[in-house]
Structure 1
Amino acid sequence: MARNGALSSAIMAAGTMVSRVLGFVKTFLITIALGSATAVGDVFEIANTLPNLIYVLVAGGIFNAVLVPQIIKAAKHDDGGSDFVSRLMTLAITGIFAVTVVVVACAWPIIGVMGSKLTADQRELAAIFALWCFPQIFFYGLYTILGQVLNARGAFGWFMWAPVINNIVAIAGVLSFIGMFGRQQMGNPPLHSLETWTPANTLVLAGSATLGVVCQALVLLIPLRKVGLKLRPKFKWRGMGLGDSAKLAGWTLATGVVSNLAFLYLTKVAAGVTGAREAYLDQGIPILGVAALNYSSMLYSLPHGVIGLSIATVLFNRMSEASQGDDSAGLGKALSAGLRVASVATIFCAVALIVFAGPVGMIFSGGDRVVGAQIGQALAVISLGGPFLTIAFMMGRVFYAQEDAKTPFYIQVFSAVLIVAAGYAASRVDARYTIFGLAGTYAVQNILAVYLSHRVLKRRLGNYGQRDIVNTHARVALASFFSALVGALALWMLGGYTFTGFAWQSQITAFSTAIIGGIVMAVAYYAFLQIFRVKEFDQLLEPIQRKLSRR
């Protein structure tokens, strides 16, 4: 990648890394406050997750895929695109506001559908949480709109650093909750349960979660004034020349609807476990629910969010410019570079998560060893699809750069069929195993999306560097495998294979094990990267090394 692109990717990756670390801290604190396999924890997770899923369902794909190409085109206008972007932003913000109003008004029936297998008391608390959390939809939309304007103007850093503010506010909220109401203590009933929950609990927990999203969006107004655009509300949308964009937006919306309805179905299946948990708790058997599935999903997608998404966001501008110039070779070159460089991080991280799944699961277990082991098992399953998540995303960016939203739609239809079929199968097994089936569904659908995308790209672009991509991935996989052997040895020495070992004594010892073992494995990985001559590792670190050398 070009130096400027690599530096932008590094800045974005740094922001995402800080945000994800704080996100882990927030999640860890939530497990302290509510537990990992409790009814209140699952109910809050359902209500706090739905705003993001609903936002992506109705608008996220459109904003991400459509805004950047249109803003880049508008930059060629005499006014630098100020008039067009003002109208486009006004239209987008008005639309997402209308959607938010409708969703908030329908909070009770939405929870009724998503939590059909919850008990009446669980559904009531979920609906109350939803009324507090659903306004997040508007601010997720505002954050994306402002962020994509900044990205299209080359100001990448703020978009990735803004979630840091969100997590800081949310962490402060959870700490306040623990300080005011105490940490979760298991009993019959637990300290924080449906029977003991109060409006004050809801205000502090759900209110702070929504406030964090509000701050994440509004902070982007600061850099927006410095990108050279004179923006103001404009409600005259006729004659904007959005005919082609409207078609693209329609297909993108359809893709988002199909994709997120499928994942909403998975959330519904996972919520059903919460309703069935009581019978198992009477037998002393903890089972995972929505919260644990979301923790596993958050962990497995970390490499994509930090490295893959940062690289893809920068490359998308290059892809859009190459596409507008009918430069298929340049488009393929950008894709190949992104896939090869990203693989250095995504493959290793997926393998490391599998090796240290037990201790990592223990960190988010609320201190329960059995729950920690179960979360680790779910994490190991879902991590198998981690590298494919980034590959599929980058391939999808090629289609949108070509302003082709039909192909992603058809690919998503095939994936959705698989997701729903697998989710239904998971709902039919014993509730103790449902979450593991859902975790496997995430992994398999990513693999399917890569296969289908590759088939189309091969016909459209011809040779887009497949041999180099496969060669790099193979060498990175070998380096990861041998480093995994070293990591497994370190885990054994730290007592990671028995509940009586150091790794399982507490969340703190589990965290220490993951850090120590991870460092040992990373050092071994670096050595094996040199042995297998993976030059993409240097490209990944180049912007950081250059900045340090300047200092």
Structure 2
Amino acid sequence: MSRVLRASAIMAAGTLVSRITGFVRTMVLAAAIGTATLGDAYNAAYAIPYAILDLLLLGVLSSVVVPMVVKAQREDADGGRAYEQRLLTLTTVALIVVAALAVWAAPLLIDLYTDWRPGQDNYEWAVTLARFILPQLAFFGVGAVAGAILNTRDRFAAPMWAPVLNNIVVIGAFLVYVAAGRGTSTNGLAILGIGTTLGIVAQALVLIVALKRAGFSFRPRLGLRRARLGEMGRAGVWTIGYVVVTQLGFVLITNLASAAGDVVAGHGITPYTLAFQLFQLPYGVIGVSVITAMLPRMSRSVGEGRFDEVRAEFGSGVRLIASVMVPVSLMLMVLGPAITVPLYARGETSIDDAVYIGQVLQVYGLALVPFAVFQLLLRVFYAFGDTRTPVYVGAGTTAVFAGLMLVANALVPPAYVVMGLAFAYAVSYAVGAGVAWMLASRRVHGLGGWTIGGALTKMYIAALPTAVLGLATVWASQQLFGSLTVLNSLIILAVGGGLGGLLYLTVAHRMRIPEVNSIVGMVAGRVGR
């Protein structure tokens, strides 16, 4: 576990800086355009290029492209240089074409991803913003391939820090928009849209420069026969299928959320997006880092038939992630509005709007542990080279999610629909994790469920005093101050979050939870240097 911990800590450090600047970016965005009509229009337009990239590239990048590059580096006479050049050339050409088609089809895409219709302000603004934002497809894709090639050369710094520059550029664009007087004229929307695209351009340039410094010399190559597209397609078809399934769920989310926002301003796509970003932060910093560190070792163990080591690696990863996710999930459920009010309650976003984002975040807190375990379970299948089973599991999870979202949309008042969507997300991933666990357990002849379950139980018991302290702090604040403000939110966070975190560490240490003790020991060692 110490190896996983050290490797995860190194990657988490770079990721954390990117996430922090990313949240500064969302804070500035919320202050600049709010959570109502313009905010929903921007977030709808902003989500579309990421959805397209997921379908075309990002879903197969780590599972297919990186292994193909590594194979070329190992087997080709030139160390894979020609293959890397050909891959980057084809990606650039293909994504320029896709970006041009997407800009042309912007009205159709907005119609697909939202419930809006021509003539509505949100629809017209979203189409205009999409036409400024969608050109980033080419740059984002090129940067993603460049980052993948850098990773195969053990150059991780640039891929970690490039998103920081992206966030800084976009923050600057939002500030320019505010200084220019805001507004929804074409010029105002151009500042938002072009500024967002320039952030991706800067990110791609950093990765390209880093690639050149790593010894990569770019020469355009268009030979399709030597691009191994057939091999790549066969390897990636199931991964692409998984991405398609999840994107269908996302289309339904944005349609239902946009419809709710039409009925109750400030309760649509934007609160869903901002709450989801906060919900993803713990997993993005801790979960992704642990998974990245453990997957290669699991793959090697599978290749050598050592299933006991697969079980040990998986159990270690689950316990390590859960030691952080369990208390954080309870804190999100208790302190959601106290977190979002200091972050978002300024400018065009009122305290009530920020409180609603926090309420959505509270519901998302239910999903944090099931989602993290689900993602870890998928890596068990990937370690076997099995990309088919995750598609079936993902399809089932998305089907449950879609059904629950439709039920929530039918039964819940529009003001609470987005909260209902978050609850559907939590339930569906709990179901998906259960199904994935059974299938993965059969594959490796058991995952040590009783051991992992016992460890998780101890973690929840250790975290309960923290939850009680958080609830008591919220209640005391309401009695003393009444409605939530930025000031008493900070007090709640200091007591319920700060002291609550220390309380969890103390209780967990006394309960001798080894994962928590390892984290405390690592941090204490680094502080003592």
TM-score (norm. length: structure 2): 0.91
Alignment match, 1:114: 113
1:31 aligns with 2:26: no
- Partner Cα distance (1:20, 1:266) in 2: 24
State how 1:467-486 maps to structure 2 within 5 Å.
467-486=450-469
- CA 462–7 in structure 1, closer or farther in 2 if over 3 Å, else same: same
The one of 491, 501, 505 equivalent to 2:474 is 491
SS at the partner of 1:385?
A: helix
Alignment match, 1:53: 51
Cα deviation for residue 512 of structure 1 reads 4.9
- CA 240–142 in structure 1, closer or farther in 2 if over 3 Å, else same: closer
- Paired residues of 1:69 and 1:401 also in contact (CA < 8 A): no
Alignment match, 2:508: 529
State how 1:89-104 maps to structure 2 within 5 Å.
89-104=88-103
- Partner Cα distance (1:486, 1:181) in 2: 44
Cα deviation for residue 468 of structure 1 reads 3.2
- CA 405–152 in structure 1, closer or farther in 2 if over 3 Å, else same: same
Q: Which has the higher helix share?
A: 2
Give the fraction of aligned pairs with identical amino acids, expressed as a percent. Answer: 28
The one of 246, 251, 271 equivalent to 2:238 is 251
Cα deviation for residue 13 of structure 1 reads 1.0
- Paired residues of 2:470 and 2:495 also in contact (CA < 8 A): no
Partner amino acid for 1:352?
M
1:444 aligns with 2:437: no
- CA 357–275 in structure 1, closer or farther in 2 if over 3 Å, else same: same
Alignment match, 1:280: none
Cα deviation for residue 90 of structure 1 reads 3.7
Alignment match, 1:85: 84
Alignment match, 1:70: 68
Cα deviation for residue 231 of structure 1 reads 5.7
Alignment match, 1:454: 437
Which sits farther off after the overlay, 291-300 or 456-465?
456-465
Cα deviation for residue 31 of structure 1 reads 1.9
Cα deviation for residue 323 of structure 1 reads 3.8
- Partner Cα distance (2:97, 2:297) in 1: 33
- CA 49–240 in structure 1, closer or farther in 2 if over 3 Å, else same: closer
TM-score (norm. length: structure 1): 0.87
Partner amino acid for 1:67?
V
- Partner Cα distance (2:63, 2:327) in 1: 29
State how 1:21-420 maps to structure 2 within 5 Å.
21-36=20-35, 38-77=36-75, 79-118=78-117, 120-181=120-181, 192=183, 197-225=184-212, 227=214, 232-239=219-226, 243-277=230-264, 287-363=266-342, 364-366=344-346, 368-420=350-402
Deviations 1:3-44 (A, max 9, x none): 3x53332122122222222222221222221222x2111111
- Paired residues of 1:116 and 1:272 also in contact (CA < 8 A): yes
- Paired residues of 1:150 and 1:224 also in contact (CA < 8 A): yes
- Paired residues of 1:365 and 1:371 also in contact (CA < 8 A): yes
Partner amino acid for 2:175?
L
RMSD: 2.6
- Partner Cα distance (2:449, 2:175) in 1: 49
- Partner Cα distance (1:440, 1:299) in 2: 16
Alignment match, 2:5: 6
- CA 89–517 in structure 1, closer or farther in 2 if over 3 Å, else same: same
Partner amino acid for 1:349?
V
- Partner Cα distance (2:381, 2:230) in 1: 18
Partner amino acid for 2:396?
F
- Paired residues of 1:287 and 1:371 also in contact (CA < 8 A): yes
Cα deviation for residue 529 of structure 1 reads 1.1
- CA 57–7 in structure 1, closer or farther in 2 if over 3 Å, else same: same
- CA 230–311 in structure 1, closer or farther in 2 if over 3 Å, else same: farther
SS at the partner of 1:63?
A: helix
SS at the partner of 2:223?
A: coil
SS at the partner of 1:463?
A: coil
- Partner Cα distance (2:312, 2:172) in 1: 44
Deviations 1:340-362 (A, max 9, x none): 11111112111111111121232
- Partner Cα distance (1:168, 1:339) in 2: 34
Cα deviation for residue 260 of structure 1 reads 0.8
- Partner Cα distance (2:519, 2:81) in 1: 35
Alignment match, 1:187: none
- CA 257–131 in structure 1, closer or farther in 2 if over 3 Å, else same: same
- Paired residues of 2:8 and 2:293 also in contact (CA < 8 A): yes
- Partner Cα distance (2:478, 2:220) in 1: 58
- Paired residues of 1:490 and 1:520 also in contact (CA < 8 A): no
Alignment match, 1:283: none
- CA 330–382 in structure 1, closer or farther in 2 if over 3 Å, else same: same
- CA 374–470 in structure 1, closer or farther in 2 if over 3 Å, else same: same
- Partner Cα distance (1:427, 1:227) in 2: 51
- Partner Cα distance (1:336, 1:54) in 2: 34
- Paired residues of 1:53 and 1:264 also in contact (CA < 8 A): no
Deviations 1:202-227 (A, max 9, x none): 12222222211222222122432455
Partner amino acid for 1:45?
N
- Partner Cα distance (2:95, 2:479) in 1: 49
Alignment match, 2:448: 465
Cα deviation for residue 243 of structure 1 reads 4.8
1:519 aligns with 2:501: no
Cα deviation for residue 481 of structure 1 reads 1.6
- Partner Cα distance (2:379, 2:220) in 1: 30
Deviations 1:480-511 (A, max 9, x none): 22211122233334x1568725xx23x35434
SS at the partner of 2:160?
A: helix
- Paired residues of 2:83 and 2:226 also in contact (CA < 8 A): no
- Paired residues of 1:42 and 1:289 also in contact (CA < 8 A): yes
- CA 469–92 in structure 1, closer or farther in 2 if over 3 Å, else same: farther
- Paired residues of 1:358 and 1:496 also in contact (CA < 8 A): no
Cα deviation for residue 522 of structure 1 reads 0.8
Partner amino acid for 2:47?
T
- CA 55–480 in structure 1, closer or farther in 2 if over 3 Å, else same: same
Partner amino acid for 1:523?
L
Deviations 1:283-331 (A, max 9, x none): xxx5511000111111111110110011112223323333444443333
State how 1:503-518 maps to structure 2 within 5 Å.
504-505=484-485, 507=486, 509-518=488-497
- CA 337–372 in structure 1, closer or farther in 2 if over 3 Å, else same: same
Aligned residue pair count: 523
- Partner Cα distance (1:349, 1:158) in 2: 29
- Partner Cα distance (2:138, 2:428) in 1: 29
- Partner Cα distance (2:64, 2:354) in 1: 41
- Paired residues of 1:359 and 1:514 also in contact (CA < 8 A): yes
Query: Which structure 2 residue ranges, 5 or more long, are not aligned?
Result: none
